[in-house]
Amino acid sequence: MDKTTNKNILTDELVALAKKNQKSISDGGGGLYLCRNKNQWYWRYSYFFNGRRTTVGLGSYPGRSIQSARALAQNCKIASANGIDVAIAIKNKKYELYNSIVDF
């Protein structure tokens, strides 16, 4: 079976069905999935770095669209393949943003 056949399987209809059934759902083949925490739904990206599984949040649904979450997950995949720990990179960006706001 071709590995590309089950990528990008999420649609708004499938997400609505998953929300109705209270189930997490994956986009297939890339580490991107939608999960529930209390009554909110969140995009998560799961990856391996230095032999450990790590998960980062990519925003909430429907605040972040499926296409936007896929694009972010693809960027995370490229970064981790280049030896960048995505979780640390995201924390550093948030820290820089916070400092730029506080130090005005």
CA distance 83 to 103: 31
pTM across the whole model: 0.74
Of the two residues 37 and 84, the one the predictor is more confident about is 84
User: Do 44 and 57 contact (CB within 8 A), yes or no?
Assistant: yes
Average pLDDT over residues 9-36: 78
| Mean pLDDT on 80-85 | 89
Q: What range defines the domain where residue 29 resides?
A: 3-102
Which CATH number characterizes residue 7's domain?
3.30.160.390
C-alpha dihedral, 22 to 24 to 28 to 29, nearest 10°: -170
Tens of pLDDT along 23-77? 788 887 667 888 877 778 888 988 888 888 888 888 888 888 888 988 888 888 8
How is residue 74 written in tokens? 């693809």
Number of domains present in the structure of the chain:
1
pLDDT of residue 30: 65
**For position 8, what pLDDT does the model report?**
67
* CB of 13 closer than 8 Å to CB of 20: no
